[in-house]
Amino acid sequence: MRLMIIGSLRGQLSTATRIAMDRGAKVLHSETIDEAMKALRTGKGADLLMVEVSVDITDLVGRLEHERICVPIVACGIQNDARAAVAAIRAGAKEYIPLPPDPELIAAVLAAVAQDGHALVYRDDSMASVVRLAEQIAPSEASVLITGESGTGKEVLARYVHQRSNRADRPFISINCAAIPEALLESELFGHEKGAFTGAVARRVGKFEEADGGTLLLDEISEMDVRLQAKLLRAIQERMIDRVGGNRPVPVNIRIIATSNRNLADAVRDGGFREDLYYRLNVVNLQLPALRERPGDILALAEHFAARYAEANGLPPRALSQDARKQLTLSRWPGNVRELENTIHRAVLLSTGEAIDTEALRMPDGSRLDAMIGGHESRVVSQAAQAAEAVTRTLVGRTVAEVERDLILDTLDHCLGNRTHAANILGISIRTLRNKLHLYSDDGFAIPAPGETRVAMR
C-alpha cells in the first residue's frame, strides 16, 4: 500500500503517518497540491491519497482527472468540521476520517482500499484449475496473457498473480488500453518530456517507469494501435523505454501481464495484432471461463457481494432466500461477474425483509430477474437433455482411446497449444501429455504448437 498524505493540520497527519507505516504502508508527504502532483508525475505513485479537508479537494480531483491519474481520495479533519467533511465527499473523496486519528480506523481504511473489488472468490472446479495454474506461474518472471469475456474478473486474477509473485511488495500498475485515446496512449505508457507536445507542461513519468520493480497490467491490449505495438514490443524485449520527446532511453524492470476479451490469435491472423508481440505476451495463458461455465461460483460470489455491500452501506447482513438462490443460478449472466455484482448491490439496497428475496433481484430498468428469465428453466432442462443425448450419440461405438485422444486435442485447442495449461485442466502431468501428443503425431494427427489451434493449421 502506497499512501500519500497532503496537508499538515497541526501535526495530526504526522500521527496518521506513523500509524499507517506501522500498518505496513509506504507513506509520502506533500504539503500542497502542487507538490503532490509533481510527485505523482515523477513516478512516486500512490494507491490512496489522504487529504486534509482545508485543501481544495475539488481542484485536486480536477487536476487528477486532467492528467488521467486515477487514485482514490480520503479526506481528514478535526472531528467537529462537519461542513468541510460533507464538502469533501461531494467534491469526490470516498471517505472522511476524523482527527485525531484512531489506529483501528486508519487500518480499516487502508485494508478497504487494498481489498476493494480485488477479492478472488471461487468454488467451481473449472475456476480452481485456472487459479492453480496462476499460483504455479506467479513466482516466475514470465509474461502472462489473461483472456476471457468482459466482466469475468481478468484484472482481479492479474492482481492475484502479482500478490503471489516475487514482486508483491512493489507497485502493481494498471492501464486500460481501450479507455485512453490513441494519441495519448503512448505518453501514458512511456511518459513525456516537458514541451513534447501541446499541453505537456512538465515532465511526466509513464506507467512503465511507475511500475519499475513491480508489475504492469496492460488491460484490453487488443485495442492498442498496431504502430504502438511495435514500440511496446521493443520495451518488453529490451527493458528500455523512450519518453515522448526524450533523447535517451530509460531502463525499466517490470513484469508484464496483459488481458484481452478478444481472441488474439484471430487478431493476429486478421492483421490487427502483431504476431511477435502476441508470442512475447503469451508465454503463459490464463483463460477465465464465463460465469455460466462455472455455476459453482454463482452463489459463492453472490453471498460475498451481499455481505460486502451491506457493510459498505451500513445495512444489516442479509442472507439469500431459497427462491433468490434458485433464480441466480438459472440466469445466464451475459455480463458475467460484473453483472452479478451489480445485481446483488441493487438487491442489498432494495431488500426490506430479513433476507434478500426475488422481489429485490431487479435489473437496471427495474424489471425483476425472474421476469427476464421467463421460461428459461424449462429451456435449460431441454437444452441439457439435448446436449446429453448428443454427447451419448458421439460416444457410442468409439473406443476409450479415441475419446481420450479427442478430449486431449480439444483441450489443447482450448488452451491455444499451451501444454502446461492443458495438462492442468486434464488433471495429468505435463510428461504424460507430451507422451500422448508424440503418439498422436506418429499416428498422423495434427498437433498445435504453442499459440496455435488445429483450425489455424488447416
Domain boundary residue among 329, 346, 376?
376
Q: Is residue 306 part of a domain?
A: yes
Strand partners, 147: 260, 287
| 111 grid coordinates | 485494508
Collect all residues with Cβ–Cβ distance below 8 Å to 308 and sequence separation of at least 6: none
Only one residue has cell 487494498, namely: 114
pLDDT at 106 over 60: yes
Tell me, yes or no, whether 285 and 305 share the same domain. Answer: no
Residue 114: the pLDDT is: 59
* Band of pLDDT at residue 276, cut at 50, 70 and 90: very high
Dump the DSSP string for 43-97: T---SEEEEETTS-HHHHHHHHHHTT----EEEEEETT-HHHHHHHHHHT-SEEE
Q: Is residue 385 part of a domain?
A: no
Residues across the chain: 458
Residue-wise pLDDT tens digits, 282-325:
999 999 999 999 999 999 999 999 988 887 777 888 899 999 99
* Secondary-structure percent of the chain, ordered helix, strand, coil, rounded to 5: 50, 15, 35
* Band of pLDDT at residue 216, cut at 50, 70 and 90: very high
Which domain, by its residues, includes 311? 292-376
Q: 194-222: buried (b, 16+ CB within 10 Å) or exposed (e) per residue?
A: eebeeebeebbbbbbbbbbebbbbbbbbb
pLDDT at 80 over 70: no
Q: Is residue 59 part of a domain?
A: yes
Tell me, yes or no, whether 420 and 334 share the same domain. Answer: no
Count how many domains the chain has. 4
Residue 280: the pLDDT is: 93
Residue 10: the pLDDT is: 59
Spatial distance between the Cα atoms of 299 and 294, rounded to a whole number of angstroms? 11
Provide mean pLDDT across the span 332-336. Answer: 91
Tell me, yes or no, whether 49 and 12 share the same domain. Answer: yes
Q: What is the CATH number of the domain that holds 82?
A: 3.40.50.2300
| 455 grid coordinates | 483450425
* Band of pLDDT at residue 136, cut at 50, 70 and 90: very high
Strand partners, 258: 145, 218
pLDDT at 347 over 50: yes
Provide mean pLDDT across the span 188-206. Answer: 81
Q: Are 187 and 230 in contact (CB under 8 A)?
A: no
pLDDT at 217 over 90: yes
Q: Which amino acid is at 122?
A: Y
* Band of pLDDT at residue 339, cut at 50, 70 and 90: very high
Residue 144 or 456, more confident: 144
Residue 16 or 92, more confident: 92
Residue 435: the pLDDT is: 87
Tell me, yes or no, whether 105 and 16 share the same domain. Answer: yes
Percent of the chain clearing pLDDT 70 (strictly above): 88
What pTM did the predictor assign?
Answer: 0.67
